[in-house]
Chains A and B, each alone.
Chain A
Amino acid sequence: MSLEQLKSSRFEEIIYDNCDPCLVIFSRKDCHVCKEVVPMLDELKPQYEGKFGFYYVDVEEDKTLFQRFSLKGVPQVLFFSEGEYRGKAAGKVEEETIEEKIAEVLGL
């Protein structure tokens, strides 16, 4: 997997200090839907190099993060820009949905 895994402190840094536009997938190892969505993001990532960040949070390792966003399931892809939460996509999302959402966040 080429997505950088974020722990709590690094999460703060990327999302709120750097304020870069990015997405974060909340996932866990034994979730079969996650196993479909994560590789899709993996493949999409190079197209957005330098423009849009792709990150990964393991909910088993970082419970505080998913509790903070009161998430009720994985996988969920959360979008951020300028330090603000900009929406999410839950479940088995398609590549197109992610691309559209990124375009929306980037204001394209």
Chain B
Amino acid sequence: MVSSYDLIIIGGGPAGLSAAIYGGRAKLKTLVINKGTIGGLADTTREIVNYPGYKHVSGPDLMKDFQKHAESFKVEFLKEEVISVDFSQEEKQIKTKKGKEFTAKAVILACGSEPRILNIPGEKTLRGSGVAYCATCDAEFFEGEEVVVVGSGDQAIEEGMYITKFARKVTVIVLHDEGILDCNKVSAERAFNNDKMEFVWNSTIEEVLGEENVSGVKIKNLKTGSSSELTCQGVFFFVGMIPSTRFLNDSGIEMDKSGYIPVNDRMETNLEGIYAVGDNRVKYLRQVVSAAGDGATAAVAAERYIEEFSEFNTTILQNDKKILLLFINVLVNESLEFSTLLETILHENSNEYKLLKVDMATKKNLAKKYEIEKVPAVVVLDKGKVIKKLGCSMDKEKLIAQLYSIPIL
């Protein structure tokens, strides 16, 4: 059975949950489909100290608050994985791994990102046998042992320091020259002052060594090209993230070569009624606060989009009269004068048309649908079908001729 919603949000991280709050508040029938735990990447963050209003909060606690907030606006949640979508129709279709099918008038993609895999020998085969991606989960298993951390971003350095609580020594493999880390300054300073932290500069890892368990890593110096081996019992990879957008590969959604989705300032993708928010879109800052902003923007844009189309469906498609869709812009005087002229003509002549004024400034989707770029413009519709576009002349006779097919004398 297919269930229908106004708005479906794929992904339940901070961006998706914020969109859900706005969607629910706008009384849209809203569903969040999320494959893992609610909260996305933020749920894996031990502490968050820069979300406004929360001086110090754990990722899971903050995300629980987001979810409760969304639930208070009657948003529904489904724990499932979306495997395919069809965005080519006005009713967007979504299928899950368990075979459930949904349709929605608008869809917000908030799928987030996942850890990047280096694809080096040993990385996959030794996973869980010394290769790890989550310090909170696995640091404890390396009590008194030697651990290598790959990467130097916020996550690498902060998680690396957490691992020093258990491990005897943590060696960080850094791509850059000595002293340069990608992480924030406070964390860098703390890391340099941590006796258990050591750094190997200008280097990367080319192989994880070991049969049953990790026994070491092969380090390649990028400056000299030379390789060396370092004995260790664990390797934690923090080498960045990739967007979780692979399931959209055949959807017609535009993506950059890394898989991030480009959007405009209303979070609109290249497809009508489809929005992308949070970590899976092309953006400058990937934080909870910016993700929340994205979600709000997309939900409001989606709400307006849905409203325009439902209005369109009831007043235009189900009308017995022919519709004159007049596109105006209150800032363009010419379009207002034309509007007055058109109304005069309709008033003086037979009553076979219904006039509908569309303000280009707010009804952008209708303008896009009918490929209207400048005002004034008139589209003649019969039962929703375009019959013709009028030449918007200020010459009354010419206009009458176009409307009533009277030959010009």
Q: Which residues of A contact B (CB under 8 A)?
A: 28, 30-36, 39, 59, 66, 70-74, 76, 88, 90-91
B136 at the A interface (CB under 8 A):
yes
Q: How far is the CB of A14 from chain B (nearest CB, A)?
A: 22
Q: Is B213 a contact partner of A72 (Cβ separation < 8 A)? A: yes
The residue in chain A whose Cβ has the minimal distance to the Cβ of B59 is: A32
Which residue among A71, A72, A88 has the maximum number of chain B CB atoms within 10 Å of its CB? Answer: A72
State how many residues of chain B have any CB contact under 8 Å with chain A: 25
Complex Cα distance, B37 from A85, in Å, reads 30
User: Besides A72-B141, A74-B141, 5 other CB < 8 A contacts?
Assistant: A32-B136, A35-B37, A72-B132, A73-B141, A76-B128
Q: Which residues of B contact A (CB under 8 A)?
A: 35-37, 43-44, 60, 79, 127-134, 136-138, 140-142, 213-214, 233-234
Q: Is B137 a contact partner of A33 (Cβ separation < 8 A)? A: yes
Q: How far is the CB of B75 from chain A (nearest CB, A)?
A: 20
Q: Is B136 a contact partner of A31 (Cβ separation < 8 A)? A: yes
Out of B36, B37, B136, B142, which one reaches A72, CB within 8 Å?
A: B142
Q: How far is the CB of B130 from chain A (nearest CB, A)?
A: 5
- Interface on chain B toward A: helix, strand, loop, or mixed SS? mixed
Q: Is B141 a contact partner of A71 (Cβ separation < 8 A)? A: yes
Return chain B residues, CB-CB under 8 Å to A59.
140
- List 23 A-B residue pairs with CB atoms under 8 Å apart, sorted by A's residue number: A28-B137, A31-B134, A31-B137, A32-B36, A32-B44, A32-B136, A33-B133, A35-B36, A35-B37, A36-B36, A36-B37, A70-B213, A71-B141, A72-B129, A72-B234, A73-B127, A73-B128, A73-B132, A73-B141, A90-B128, A90-B129, A91-B127, A91-B128
Out of A30, A66, A91, which one reaches B141, CB within 8 Å?
A: A66
Return chain B residues, CB-CB under 8 Å to A90.
127-129
Complex Cα distance, B37 from A76, in Å, reads 18
Q: Is A30 a contact partner of B128 (Cβ separation < 8 A)? A: no
Return chain B residues, CB-CB under 8 Å to A71.
128, 141
Identify the 6 closest CB pairs spanning chains A and B, nearest first: A90-B128, A31-B137, A73-B138, A35-B37, A36-B36, A32-B44
- Interface on chain A toward B: helix, strand, loop, or mixed SS? mixed
Complex Cα distance, B138 from A64, in Å, reads 16
Return chain B residues, CB-CB under 8 Å to A35.
36-37
Q: Is B128 a contact partner of A88 (Cβ separation < 8 A)? A: yes
Return chain A residues, CB-CB under 8 Å to B79.
39
Q: How far is the CB of B343 from chain A (nearest CB, A)?
A: 61
The residue in chain A whose Cβ has the minimal distance to the Cβ of B79 is: A39
Q: Is A74 a contact partner of B137 (Cβ separation < 8 A)? A: yes
The residue in chain B whose Cβ has the minimal distance to the Cβ of A27 is: B137
Q: How far is the CB of A19 from chain B (nearest CB, A)?
A: 25
Return chain B residues, CB-CB under 8 Å to A88.
128
Q: How far is the CB of B271 from chain A (nearest CB, A)?
A: 29
Q: Is B214 a contact partner of A30 (Cβ separation < 8 A)? A: no
Q: Is B138 a contact partner of A32 (Cβ separation < 8 A)? A: no
Q: Is B134 a contact partner of A32 (Cβ separation < 8 A)? A: yes
Return chain A residues, CB-CB under 8 Å to B128.
71-73, 76, 88, 90-91
The residue in chain B whose Cβ has the minimal distance to the Cβ of A66 is: B141
Out of B127, B136, B142, B213, which one reaches A30, CB within 8 Å?
A: B136
The residue in chain A whose Cβ has the minimal distance to the Cβ of B128 is: A90
Q: Is B134 a contact partner of A33 (Cβ separation < 8 A)? A: yes
Q: Is B214 a contact partner of A32 (Cβ separation < 8 A)? A: no
Return chain A residues, CB-CB under 8 Å to B136.
30-32
Q: How far is the CB of B193 from chain A (nearest CB, A)?
A: 27
